[in-house]
Structure 1
Amino acid sequence: MVRSVVSCVAWVTKGAAKEEPEKVKLDKEQLEKLIKEAKEQLDDAEAEDQDVGAENGGAVGGSNVDDELAEYDLDHYDDEPDMDGGSKNLVDSLAGLTMYADEDDDPYITIKDEDEEDIEDFKIKPSDNLILVGKAEEECSNLEIFVYNEADDILYCHHDIMLSAFPLALEWLNFDPGEDKPGNFVAVGNMTPVIEIWDLDLVDSVEPAFTLGEYQMKKKKKKSKEKVDSHKDAVLDLSWNRHARNVLASASADHTVALWDLSQGKTVSVLKQHTDKVQTLEWHPFEAQSLLTGAFDKNVKVFDCRKADQAHMNWSFNGEIERVLWNHFSPYNFLASTDKGYVYYMDVRQQQAIFTLSAHSEAVTGLALSSQIPGCLVTTSADKNVKVWDIQNNKPECVLSKDFKMGALTCVHCCPDEAAVMATGGEKEGLRVFDIMAYTAVANHFGNRELVVVDMAVNSTSSQASAVMEEDGAVAVEDVTMETEAANTEQSDSQVVGGTKKKKKKKKKKS
């Protein structure tokens, strides 16, 4: 049985996607370019493996093995003879699998008329959300784009994209560096130092729209291709600045946080204050300069990115930081979770935690606040459980605890347009979209609470961004409302116990 793992999830707001996405069509020259680039990467990887083998005393491969296999000519095992007895060119082989500009010319298509239902499913309505899902199956990694419509009770996979490496983080971007108008892109962080940016309005893409950073070349006989502004290790999390729309922050296993100018495709600042892998980060929902970060060094920091080298706050916790999250209903407050199963609720103006939850028995891998229900918090964990909490008035209460039978859960995110709809991923069964109000206990508890729509709308054009990049690499903004004094937090582990309640599941139409 093939094991499928959903490692990360992100939402796209309603109306952001094109109603009819474009389909990519490659010509022979583009195919040759892609094949050449892929071959170079494979050659570099093979050279690195050989270097490792040499360092290990020839444990990888060897001349004797090569001599024994040579007689089988495995390098040409898959070659097919052409009409003249030669071998088929790889470009020609792949070209036969690509899409014809006119389907009437494609000999492999025997049914020319598309089904009306397929045509309708290909269109994306203004009332549809998209759900972006980072997924891995054995050696294959994919980005799946789902269409979700709460009113019509619809959920199906619209198309998918093959990724070059295991996905670790997804972040939607309503910014197009090539156009003076909103875009529909996703930034993908993976096990490499390179961030891939994909255009979600293009179907059948075989390469990103652009990338940030480059691979490090370790071959001694070649000059390193690594840019000064590249990460040196995996990219673990991403956060797009909704007020400085050309700014993307990335957290890396190389212990750094990079601030990228998407318009130029390069970093303008690198934050090096953490001493271990930076696991999580998030821009403040209302302040362009304030960045929240958490790392395996057990510290959470808030940076004033106008002068990040001098101005940041710090809290130390008893455990590696898994997730951080600003409270968009209360801008001075944030949450932080650890690998010990605790969730801390903090105020940036004080040292001690407002309260501490012993939320799960294992790492708390996901934190999500309802987009419109104040005080409604959802957590996921490696202990396989999802829990719904009420943290209103700083008096936390567990309302629901549920095991979806998905194995260890990896993440959870709330729909930006629906108050109670959550998406989570796990080690089994892939994506799960659920409405917390479908559970009686949650509906009874939050049903009468007034919904609050918080205005976090992004600016429509890059010229309206409230932050710009200064020459020294800092993010320049007008106001700072947060203190910049360092603070160390002392925690008291107060336990909150939740129970399992009855459920009422909503059916979804799947493809």
Structure 2
Amino acid sequence: MSFRVRQSKFRHVFGQALKKDQCYDNIRVTKSAWDSTYCAVNPKFLAIITEAAGGGAFLILPVEKTGRIERDIPLVSGHKKAVLDIQWCPHNDNVIASASDDCTVKVWSIPDEGLVKNLEEPITTLIAHQRRVGLIAWHPTAHNVLLSAGSDNMIFIWNVGTEEILIELGVLPDLPLCASWNYDGSLVAFTCKDKKLRIIDPRSGAVVKEHKAHEGTKPSQVVFLKNNLLFTTGFSKMSERQYALWDSNLENICIQEIDNSNGVIFPFYDPDTNMIYLCGKGDTAIRYFEITQQPPYVHWLDQYGSSEPQRGIGAMPKRGLNVNNCEIMR
């Protein structure tokens, strides 16, 4: 009987940790209980939400400035309460947005050389939410367009340049946990506390599709893939962590248990290789899978393991990778 191995260009992908002198040391990562990645990176800068007394702050480091970080390093410290989410603008490496417990979203401009003193004045403050803002996502194709979602169950899509609300959506019945734009920004997917997965057309404000996703009560995450497929991570009724793949009509293609750990899993998707990386808070492993058209559709490739548990996770855009060393994700 012949045994045929599945053909894949990425079957031998492996993870490799950088040497200690190329790492960042002595960073006081926030102890906030909010389920966010706490970290954002682009080819110029690394941003990490930090512990701060009397308000919310995050630090900005030039990517090449590795080694031990001083305790009195300048911070971005304009929020009155804890910072919950940070996202770099995909069209401008010097612009970062932050969402906070103080009900505001602020947009900051970082000088090319990094911060030399505390930055307290944003270029834009977006005020509309009545409760804390836990979620922001830049539009993938339109410049200066930012989505924010908060605990008031409202979604606002902003023109950051003029501080105007372009679109106001009140279609979510419960707390939004995660948002993901599709490839061209024509649709946006949400997971909510009511355990449902929704696809929303932001221009008409209509819920295009909705479906019960993971049955567990803990937070679930979603990411839009190519061909308008969706990939979600969440928990089963028995609190087992699981991932699932859905088509554009939210019909389930596959669902698979991972393990019994209790940390939220964040998916990071690479559309060029069609690979997905699953990073869990408190985990010591990063798992990677390949998405294909053939059953079982989500193929296990390998996992990278370390001795230190993860506190925050960020994915470098392709522009910042060392392709000469065949690096496909960092």
Normalised by the length of structure 1, the TM-score is 0.49
1:171 aligned partner: 40
Which one has a larger percent helix, Structure 1 or Structure 2? 1
Give CA-to-partner distance per residue, 1:309-347, whole Å, 9 cap, x none: 45442223111111111111x422001111221221000
1:188 aligns with one of 48, 62, 73: 48
Give the aligned partner of residue 162 of structure 1.
26
Partner of 1:166, secondary structure, is coil
Partner of 1:51: none
Corresponding residue of 1:206: 69
Q: 1:315 to 1:431 in 2, by over 3 A?
A: farther
Does residue 290 of structure 1 match 2:153? no
Cα contact 1:341–1:358 (8 A) shared by 2: yes
Could you tell me which residue of structure 1 aligns to residue 124 of structure 2?
269
Matches within 5 A, 1:362-441: 362-370=217-225, 373-381=226-234, 383-392=239-248, 394-415=249-270, 417-427=272-282, 429-437=283-291
Equivalent of residue 232 in structure 1, options 59, 71, 80: 80
Q: Name the structure 1 match of 2:96.
A: 248
User: Percent of aligned pairs with the same residue?
Assistant: 17
TM-aligned CA deviation for residue 360 of structure 1: 1.6
Work out whether residues 384 and 408 of structure 1, in 8 Å CA contact, stay in contact via their aligned partners in 2: no
Contact 1:197 1:208 in 2 (8 A): no
Structure 1 residue 350 and structure 2 residue 170: aligned?
A: no
Report the secondary structure of 1:194's partner residue: strand
| Larger Cα-atom Rg | 1
Shift, 1:395, TM fit: 4.6
| Contact 2:199/2:207 (8 A) holds in 1 | yes
Residue pairs, 1:426-505, within 5 angstroms: 426-427=281-282, 429-437=283-291, 443-444=294-295, 446=297
CA gap of 1:172–1:388, structure 2 versus 1, over 3 A, is same
- Summarize deviations over 1:234-268 as a string: whole Å, max 9, x none: 11111111223322110111111001111285401
Alpha-carbon distance between aligned partners in 2 of 1:505 and 1:153, rounded to the nearest angstrom: 8
1: CA distance between counterparts of 2:205 and 2:306? Answer: 48
- Shift in Å at residue 507 of structure 1? 5.7
The structure richer in strand per residue is: 2
Question: What are structure 1's unaligned runs of at least 5 residues?
Answer: 1-148, 175-182, 215-229, 448-502
Tell whether the 8 Å contact from 1:321 to 1:336 is kept in structure 2 after alignment.
Answer: yes
| Offset at residue 355 of structure 1 (A) | 0.6
Q: Contact conserved, 1:379 with 1:388, CA < 8 A, in 2?
A: yes
Shift of 1:281: 0.5
> 1:234/1:417 Cα in 2 relative to 1: closer, same or farther (>3 Å)?
farther
Q: RMSD of aligned C-alpha atoms?
A: 3.0
User: Which runs of 5 or more residues in structure 2 are unaligned?
Assistant: 1-8, 308-330
Which residue number in structure 1 is paired with residue 192 of structure 2? 338
AA aligned to 1:157 is A
Distance 2:92 2:26 in 1: 30
Cα deviation, 1:376-407, whole Å, max 9, x if unaligned, reads 32212254433222333x35324122233332
Distance 1:365 1:349, change over 3 A: same
Q: 1:353 to 1:211 in 2, by over 3 A?
A: farther
1:211/1:287 Cα in 2 relative to 1: closer, same or farther (>3 Å)? farther
3-state SS of the aligned residue for 2:295?
helix
Aligned residue for 1:153?
A: 13
One-letter code aligned to 1:323? C
Distance 1:419 1:209 in 2: 41
Larger RCO, structure (CA 8 Å, separation 6 or more)? 1
Distance 1:325 1:232, change over 3 A: same
Match of 1:359 among 193, 213, 228: 213
**Structure 1 residue 369 displacement after superposition:** 2.7
CA–CA distance in 2 between the matches of 1:398 and 1:151?
22
Q: State the match for 2:317 in structure 1.
A: none
Is the alpha carbon distance of 1:201 and 1:150 closer, same or farther for their aligned partners in structure 2, counting shifts above 3 Å?
farther
2:125–2:163 CA contact under 8 A, matched in 1 = no
CA distance in 2, matches of 1:377, 1:281: 19
Residue-by-residue CA offset, 1:107-153 (whole Å, 9 max, x unaligned):
xxxxxxxxxxxxxxxxxxxxxxxxxxxxxxxxxxxxxxxxxx95753
The residue aligned with 2:155 is: 300
Is residue 278–residue 287 contact of structure 2 (8 Å, CA) maintained in 1? yes
Pairwise CA distance, 1:202: 3.5
- Superposed displacement of residue 200, structure 1: 3.4
Would you say the 8 A contact 1:290–1:304 is kept in 2? yes
Q: 1:355 to 1:250 in 2, by over 3 A?
A: same
